Amino acid sequence: MKIRRIDVLVIGAGASGLTSAIKLAEMGYEVSVVERENTLGGILNQCIHSGFGLHYFNEELTGPEFADRLIGLLPDALYLAPNATVDRLIDDENGLGALVFSPESGITRYSSRAIVLAMGCRERNRGNIHIPGSRPSGVYTAGLAQRLVNIEGYIPGKDVVIVGSGDIGLIMARRMSWVGAKVHCVVEIQPYPSGLTRNIVQCLNDFNIPLHLSHVVTKINGNDRVQSVEISPVSREKERGPGSFTVECDTLLLSVGLVPENELTRKFGIAMNHETSGPKVDSRLMTSKPGVFACGNVLHVHDLVDYACEEAERCAKGVDEFLRGVAPETGGPVVSGANVRYVVPGAYNPGSDNRFYLRPMIVKNKSRLSVRAGEVEIYGKNLPHVQPSEMVEATLSKDALKACSGQTLEVRIE
C-alpha cells in the first residue's frame, strides 16, 4: 500500500472541491484532490444549460463552461486523483487521512493535516417517496435522465411525466421537449413550486407544460414498461382528495429533492445536522472532528453553484487558520427561528464578519429577515420575496457580533 503525505486532502472535484483546492494551493499548501469519477467538475458537466456564474464569474455560463473555468485555475503543483474512491476516513497514530482505492494506482493511504469534505449530494429516488404500483422500466431520477441525454446520448422516453418541481426536474422538462418528447405535466405535492422562479418561466411556461400543484402520483401502472400513472390532488393536510386522473406515459422522471452525500461523514463519527442532512460545522466550517471541514452541497444543498464556490473559499480560509494555529474567537450558537428551516453555519465568530445561508419555510412577498440576540435585533433587511427553493444570505459585521458575543443568535423571517 502506498502512502501519500500532504497538507490537505480534498474529497470531491465538483465546484466546491475544486474551489477550495485552488484557494488552498494559492496559499502555499500541498493539496491532493480525490474524485471518484474519471473527469473533474462533478454534476456541472451534465448541466449544459446556462445560468451559472452570474455571481462568481460575473457572466452567464453553462455548467461545463463553469467547470472549465475552475479547472483552468488549478495550479500545476496540485495533485489530482480521478477515478479514485475513498473507502473510509482515518484518524490513527499517523494522523488524519483516508484509504483510497483506484484501478490505476491501487490502494493509497493519504495522510494529511486537514481534510475538506466536498462530496456533493445525491438524488432521492422512488423508494424515498413510496409511490405504489408495479416496478416497470421507465422510472428514472431526473439527474440520471439528464446524464443519459446530455452525456450518454440516449433519450429515456417519448411520453413523460415529471414528479417534483425541483430545478433539475424543471430543466429536464425543457430538455425532453427539445429532443422531441411530449412532457405531459409536472406534479408537485406542495402548493407552491420547488424550483427557482426563472426555471418555472423558462422551462414550463415557455413550453406550455402544465404544473399540477398540491398533487401526487398515487400509482404507477405497467408491466415491462411504464404505461400510465395515476395522479391525485392532496389537501393542505396532505390527504388525498377526489379528482384523481390518469396520464398515459412511458417514462416517469423523479425530481423529489437532493440529499447531501455523507456516508463517509457518518462512518467517521462526525456530528450531523438533522435539518440539513449535512455535518454540523462551526464558524469556519469545521466539523466536530478537528481538522475536518465541509463545504458545498455535502454541507447543505445550495440553490446556486456560485454560492457553493463562495462557501468553499471561506472553508479554505478556515483550513488555513486551523493549520496556522489561529483559533476563532468564542462567539455563540446560531439557531433557526420562525419560518426558517436551517441556518449554516451554526455558530459565529465575533472576531470577523460572518456570512450565513438560510433556507426559508414559507412563500411570502414583502417579508423581513431579522437576526436577534435575545430581544435585540442586531441585523435586519427587507426581502421582496422568499420561498423554500431560494436561499437567503445574511452577512453580519464583526462590530455587530462583538456586541452580543456569547449570546445565542436567532434568525427569523417575519
Domain boundaries, the chain: 1-123+258-328, 125-256, 329-414
Best CATH choice for the domain 329-414 from the list 2.60.40, 3.40.50, 1.10.3470, 2.40.50 = 2.60.40
Determine contact, residues 264/12, Cβ cutoff 8 Å. Answer: no
Coil/strand/helix, residue 347: strand
On whether the 1-123+258-328 domain is CATH 3.50.50.60, my answer is: yes
CATH topology of domain 125-256: FAD/NAD(P)-binding domain (3.50.50)
pLDDT band for position 330 (cuts 50, 70, 90): confident
Burial code (b: 16+ CB inside 10 Å, e: under 16) for 195-227 equals bbeebbebbbeeeebebbebbbbeebebeeebb
Determine contact, residues 17/33, Cβ cutoff 8 Å. Answer: yes
pLDDT digits (tens, 9 = 90+) for 163-193: 999 899 999 999 999 999 999 999 999 998 8
Q: What does DSSP say about strands 332-336 and 409-413: parallel, antiparallel, or unpaired?
A: parallel
Determine contact, residues 265/117, Cβ cutoff 8 Å. Answer: yes
Residue 63: per-residue pLDDT: 96
Would you say the CATH fold of 125-256 matches that of 1-123+258-328? yes
Residue 339: per-residue pLDDT: 97
| Mean pLDDT calculated for residue range 335-358 | 95
**What one-letter code names the amino acid at 328?**
P
pLDDT digits (tens, 9 = 90+) for 75-128: 988 999 999 999 999 998 878 999 999 998 899 999 999 999 999 999 998 888
